[in-house]
Structure 1
Amino acid sequence: MLKLYRFISGPDDKDFCMRITDLINKGWELHHGPTLTFNGTSCIVGQALTKEVVNETYSTPIDLTKY
């Protein structure tokens, strides 16, 4: 089994929420809570996600977008 990890970041807006929603619906799971910072003009949010893939083993490079 292969366990994948991704960290998605971007402006705190509906597009960010839709990216995370899309990944959740593709089988990714939230890994802990989100992070939030302020860069002087806007809020930047980040979310870690993980996914377990059966019948695959780790090798590099991994194209996470195919999962």
Structure 2
Amino acid sequence: MRLYRLITEPDTPEFCHRVTQALNRGWELHGSPSTTYDATKGVTICAQAVTKYVPDEEYTRETKLGAY
């Protein structure tokens, strides 16, 4: 099965830690990161898509993406 996640976080070191953690768990970057500005909160929000191939598993809506 191929899995997809979109990691989002305000533009702080925590965003980079979350993406780094995903990479170290076997996820791969999918495309470029994106940013947007949330004017109501006064913060920049970052997003990075990641994908992962998991052999011999079948995807269901109950699949816990964070478990991989």
Q: What's the TM-score, normalizing by structure 2?
A: 0.92
Divergent runs of 4+, >6 A: none
What's the C-alpha RMSD, in Å, of the aligned pairs? 0.7
> Match of 2:57?
56
> Match of 2:10?
11
- Identity across aligned pairs (percent)? 42
Note the residue ranges of structure 2 that are not aligned, 5 or more in a row: none
Note the residue ranges of structure 1 that are not aligned, 5 or more in a row: none
Distance in 2 (CA, whole Å) between partners of 1:46 and 1:10 is 7
> Match of 1:33?
32
What is the aligned residue count?
Answer: 66
Q: What's the TM-score, normalizing by structure 1?
A: 0.93
